[in-house]
Amino acid sequence: MTATTHLQSSQPPYVELLPLKDGETYDSALAVPPAFVVKVFHGRKCRTKSGLLGEFSRVLDFPSYFAKNWDAFMDCLTDLQWLPAPGYVFVILDAEEVLIEHEHEYAIFIDILSEAGRVWSTEQDVRPAIPFHVLLVVAERNKNKRKWGVPLFRT
């Protein structure tokens, strides 16, 4: 399966690592299908749980009642009724910064993203299966800075 085909599918993996060579940008490495919602998050703003939830809330324009906890985060990620699309691709730049000193929280975050992908991939009564993919983008030189807990993106 090519990278483009994978992004168009509702099949796992839903969270992947995308190492970039010097001078390469995420958008040059990806061919996102037309009409998909692409949202970019900054890992340096996600060093703490509070920062991460704030960054996602800001970028995705979560409803004002967002409670800024993991359960509410999951609820918002699997709803997105205010952001309808045939598919979602979330790009987290400088991913090596995400929850860098909070490995337990990082594991929870990855589990939530993976579960959100599974929820979106399941056909519902009111909607078809919808592709949902998250790419953790790092410079090639930083790809071994942590245990990512996700596979490499197939470019």
Report the pLDDT value the prediction gives residue 155, as an integer from 0 to 100. 66
**Amino acid, single-letter form, for residue 12:** P
Q: How many CB atoms lie within 10 A of CB 74?
A: 17
As a whole number, mean pLDDT of residues 112-122 equals 97
- Quick: pLDDT tens for 89-114: 999 999 999 999 999 999 999 999 99
CATH code for the part of the protein at 3-142:
3.30.370.10
Q: 8: pLDDT confidence band, cut at 50, 70 and 90?
A: very high
Encoded amino acid at 14, one letter: Y
Q: Are 1 and 9 in contact (CB under 8 A)?
A: yes
pTM of structure: 0.95
Which pLDDT does position 1 carry in this prediction? 57
In the chain, domain spans:
3-142
User: 125 pLDDT band (50/70/90 cuts)?
Assistant: confident
**Cis omega (within 30 of 0) on the bond before 12?**
no
